[in-house]
Structure 1
Amino acid sequence: MSGASRAELDAARLLLARMGISAADLVETPADRPLAPTFAEYVPVVSAAVSVGTRRAYGSYWKRVVHQWGHRRLDEPTPSEIEQLGEYIKAHVVARRNARGGRSAVEHLIAALRCLYKRAVADGYIAAADDPAAKVAKPRRLPSTRRAVADARLAEINEVAASTGDDPVLDSLLLRLHTETACRRGGALALRPVDLDPEQCLILLREKGDTTRWQPVSPTLMRHLQRHTDNRHAPPAGQLLRYRDGRPITRRRYDHLWVRIGEHLPWVYVQQISTHWLRHTTLTWVERNFGYAVAREYAGHSDSGSSAGTTATYVRATLHEVARALAALTNESHPLA
């Protein structure tokens, strides 16, 4: 039989490249690759290597994988078995009022396994072409039910927060911080006294994906943040937001806050209003009044992976434009506006 033609060889190389397979992968024998560890052995390794945010997002799913497959090696499960595990978790997900049929749980399980196998590929335990999690599609994400809160409703929320609870000063500060900056909970919890720039009325936000950005705040909010720092003895490099006794707050404070507000405002409980709705509210207002580019910069969205296309790179708003939007939102002058 005659050898393959040049065109056939080129076609084969192209196909292998698209599959992520190199020539070395084809000639490599199983003995050349180290024995894959079990899930019980490898999950702690990956958990220690990822960021705190990733560990928080995927930790519970890794525990479920260890519970189901702890004794199995990484190269044993098939894509079909991952789908079966997803259906099992979907059927046993904790029923909550805002649940959407377990779709989110399955999505997070697949993402957690992809993170695990990505590390296994990098560590040389399996080949990229043998990654079973990459061959399982995530369920289609349904449109979010969150939306902007009307001005009158937002005023009701702030009134309840300021007149109820064991620390209305803290709760009012939280709502004002999120309403002005449209930051996420992680960004607020990561805020430190050293991240305040009182002269220019800026705060440094550190949010998901290890992103950082300087965000304008009103002079009023800056004064309250400084006062909070002094009154609650927050160390310069420590967490800024704290309880009266000096303990740093956690995400649980947000949970208790919205439960309390829901007890006084039934529509908050029924619609499952949360802190992220404030982000929707502010960014919707900014987009309507100052355009998409300013709203995108206000939100701190990065250029990578954007669905807006390459054009977004050229129409990026400046910090001064964000400050002007904030000044209009709060009806206060800003040093950068």
Structure 2
Amino acid sequence: MTPDPDRVATARTLLAQLGISVADLLVEHSDPTTVAEYLPRVRAAASAAANRSYGSYWNRMVAAWGDRPLTSIAATDVEAFQRECARTARRRRNGRGGRHAGENAITAARAMFNRAIADGLIAATASPAHQVPKPRRLPSPRRALTPNELTEINQVVRTSGNDAVLDALLLRLHTETACRRGGALSLRLMDLDTVHGLVLLQEKGETLRWQPVTLDLAARLEAHAATRGAVRPTDQLLRYRDGRGLTSRRYDHLWKRIGDRLPWVAAQNVSTHWLRHTTLTWVERNFGYGIARAYAGHTDNTGPATTTYVKADLQAVATALAAMTGQPHPLAASLEDLGM
């Protein structure tokens, strides 16, 4: 389209009155904020979970790009950063050549540039981190444990270690609820309902849900907390013998001890999350996808459109628990009531 000469002349006149030349409009005005100056603001706005997941990567960004303006970071810089994080990732038994570290590096960079877009420091289409694809996530090697494998693990836990009562309670809690480690560690005295057989789980994504447990486990959890010094409603439920609240280190020591006695556990890098796979697989096979999804505490809407309609309530989850454990639950319905 050929520009109208009269409109061009009018525009030039207006620009001249404002003291702006055409050349000025062609100059890209970049925000001088550096990565080192901006990242503290990102950290302050991020959740505790995001800071735990991406904090180390943000530290590395400061080391690599600290004195550079945000607008000077290119896609090539982000990709080089991702490959360096993958190359230097700590080598673990279940490592995937640093793929997970590389994925987290890009996610951490995207989090920073998303915040910069929201703050108006860069254009919505100018994020270099979003121009670098994440590594394709490989299938997880985790699987459901067989009944015999689960029996072997529980036998080792009950007959070894310096606190078999605590460790057996931990495994039972994870087996009954399919909760994550964070959910168990965040339990407080006030999160236990011994009358209705429920625990209040706080897990990733700041999700909050009541999860059924057998009345026997609820009573054991209450007794455990009482004998180990939990008094106030906000006191941590799971505790060491000396009264200190449980930490994630207990899980590390627990699976190390189990692996020392059961070589297949060490070889396959079995962890607490395998108990979650075990329980949810059983629930899905026997009660269907909808109840398994509710049992897992999944609230996302990704996947097929039918996930919007495939939902289950607390009563259905309690019924699945009762069937799995062979113990009655006050919230459980009969299979006939569920149409099964």
Matched letter for residue 278 of structure 1: L
Q: Which of 51, 55, 66 is matched with 2:51 structurally?
A: 55
Question: Is residue 334 of structure 1 aligned with residue 329 of structure 2?
Answer: yes
**Do the aligned residues in 2 keep the contact of 1:36 with 1:73 (CA within 8 Å)?**
yes
Return the alpha-carbon distance in structure 2 between the equivalents of residues 119 and 100 of structure 1: 30
Q: 1:199 to 1:127 in 2, by over 3 A?
A: same
**Do the aligned residues in 2 keep the contact of 1:161 with 1:168 (CA within 8 Å)?**
yes
- Aligned pairs (5 A) from 1:168-317: 168-234=164-230, 235-304=232-301, 306-307=302-303, 309-317=304-312
Report the Cα offset of residue 89 of structure 1.
1.7
- Aligned pairs (5 A) from 1:33-182: 35-182=31-178
Return the alpha-carbon distance in structure 1 between the equivalents of residues 174 and 152 of structure 2: 16
Return the alpha-carbon distance in structure 2 between the equivalents of residues 67 and 336 of structure 1: 54
Matched letter for residue 328 of structure 2: S
1:148-177 C-alpha deviation (Å, 9 max, x unpaired): 001111111111112211111111111111
- State how many pairs are aligned: 311
SS of equivalent residue, structure 1 residue 75:
helix
Return the alpha-carbon distance in structure 1 between the equivalents of residues 143 and 26 of structure 2: 53
- Higher mean Cα deviation, 233-242 or 77-86? 233-242
Matched letter for residue 207 of structure 1: E
SS of equivalent residue, structure 1 residue 212:
strand
1:74-121 C-alpha deviation (Å, 9 max, x unpaired): 221111111111112222222211111111110000011111111111
Q: Which of 311, 316, 324 is matched with 2:319 structurally?
A: 324
The TM-score, its normalising length taken from structure 1, stands at 0.88
Matched letter for residue 86 of structure 2: K
Q: 1:59 to 1:105 in 2, by over 3 A?
A: same
Return the alpha-carbon distance in structure 1 between the equivalents of residues 236 and 195 of structure 2: 21
Q: 1:36 to 1:172 in 2, by over 3 A?
A: farther
1:39-95 C-alpha deviation (Å, 9 max, x unpaired): 222222222222221111111111221221222222211111111111122222222
Report the Cα offset of residue 252 of structure 1.
1.3
Return the alpha-carbon distance in structure 2 between the equivalents of residues 50 and 241 of structure 1: 28
Q: 1:37 to 1:242 in 2, by over 3 A?
A: farther
Comparing both chains, which one has the higher relative contact order based on Cα–Cα distances under 8 Å and sequence gaps of 6 or more?
1
Gaps of at least 5 residues in structure 1 are 5-26
SS of equivalent residue, structure 1 residue 143:
coil
Return the alpha-carbon distance in structure 2 between the equivalents of residues 59 and 201 of structure 1: 38
Return the alpha-carbon distance in structure 2 between the equivalents of residues 150 and 135 of structure 1: 43
**Do the aligned residues in 2 keep the contact of 1:303 with 1:313 (CA within 8 Å)?**
no
**Higher Cα Rg, which structure:** 2
1:13-41 C-alpha deviation (Å, 9 max, x unpaired): xxxxxxxxxxxxxx89855x7x3432222
* 2:337 alignment counterpart: none
Q: 1:173 to 1:37 in 2, by over 3 A?
A: farther
- Higher mean Cα deviation, 309-318 or 281-290? 309-318
SS of equivalent residue, structure 1 residue 130:
coil
Q: What's the RMSD between the two structures over aligned residues? A: 1.8
Matched letter for residue 306 of structure 2: T
SS of equivalent residue, structure 1 residue 322:
helix
Return the alpha-carbon distance in structure 1 between the equivalents of residues 296 and 27 of structure 2: 50
Task: Give the fraction of aligned pairs with identical amino acids, expressed as a percent.
Answer: 56
The TM-score, its normalising length taken from structure 2, stands at 0.87
Return the alpha-carbon distance in structure 2 between the equivalents of residues 299 and 87 of structure 1: 34
Return the alpha-carbon distance in structure 2 between the equivalents of residues 170 and 29 of structure 1: 66
Q: 1:125 to 1:231 in 2, by over 3 A?
A: same
Q: 1:71 to 1:335 in 2, by over 3 A?
A: same
Return the alpha-carbon distance in structure 1 between the equivalents of residues 111 and 127 of structure 2: 11
1:190-234 C-alpha deviation (Å, 9 max, x unpaired): 111111122111111111111111110001110111111111122
1:238-282 C-alpha deviation (Å, 9 max, x unpaired): 321111111112111111110111011110000000000000000
Report the Cα offset of residue 237 of structure 1.
1.0
- Higher mean Cα deviation, 183-192 or 44-53? 44-53
Q: 1:231 to 1:37 in 2, by over 3 A?
A: farther
